[in-house]
């Protein structure tokens, strides 16, 4: 299965993902393909909406490139928050070239199904808790920009459009590294 990253603007970012009824081979193939996109784009997490799939699936990996720590969250649900709020500079692969400081709970406990369909529970602190909450927002039809004022959101969206135009011009003029899994010009 091959998936591609969707970038804004796209109506899928306002749609709610549906629960996964059964963790089967199709769902595992989606998860594997999502991790390929995540690593190709050098991100920390993906919600399934970001690759055009309206299923409640998130993949995250806050590990270093040489020490992967992949986590698959199917039908994730936050069951507890604690530790107050933390402000974290958030960005998104689907909104290239922009970021914003967002306040979220420092610690969360999330229950979910893993790639084998087994019930799991994870207590996470910053930055993992922020990444999980950020990706879960996509599944609920929200993005990090929805936490901002309209004025700030509009300003960032204009900045993103400039970034996309500049990147498109420079990508067309440059060579890539030759790695078929790498989507970046070097």
Give the active site residue among 21, 41, 69, 135: 135
**Helix (H), strand (E) at residue 107:** strand 95-113
Distance CA 152, CA 135 (A): 21
Cα atoms in the 13 Å half-sphere on the side-chain side of 180: 1
Residues 6+ apart with CB under 8 A from 158: none
Distance CA 116, CA 100 (A): 35
- CA-closest candidate to residue 95, choices 132, 21, 55, 146: 146
**135 catalytic, yes or no?**
yes
Contact 134, 126 (CB under 8 A): no
Helical segments of the chain, H only: 25-41, 128-139, 150-173
Residues with a catalytic annotation lie at 135
């Amino acid at each position: 299965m091959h998936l591609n990253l969707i970038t804004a603007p796209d109506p899928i970012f306002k749609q709610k993902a549906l629960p996964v009824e059964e963790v089967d081979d199709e769902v595992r193939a989606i998860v594997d393909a999502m991790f390929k996109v995540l690593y190709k784009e050098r991100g920390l997490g993906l919600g399934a909406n970001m690759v055009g799939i309206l299923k409640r699936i998130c993949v995250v990996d806050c590990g270093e490139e040489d020490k992967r720590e992949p986590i698959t969250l199917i039908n994730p649900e936050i069951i507890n928050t604690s530790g107050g709020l933390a402000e974290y500079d958030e960005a998104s692969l689907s909104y290239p070239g922009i970021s914003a400081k967002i306040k979220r709970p420092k610690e969360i406990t999330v229950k979910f199904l893993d790639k084998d369909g087994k019930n799991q529970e994870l207590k996470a602190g910053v930055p993992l808790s922020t990444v999980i909450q950020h990706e879960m927002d996509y599944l609920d039809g929200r993005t990090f920009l929805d936490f901002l004022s309209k004025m700030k959101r509009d300003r960032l969206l204009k900045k993103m459009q400039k970034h996309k135009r500049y990147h498109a011009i420079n990508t067309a003029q440059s060579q890539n590294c030759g790695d078929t899994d790498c989507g970046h010009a070097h």
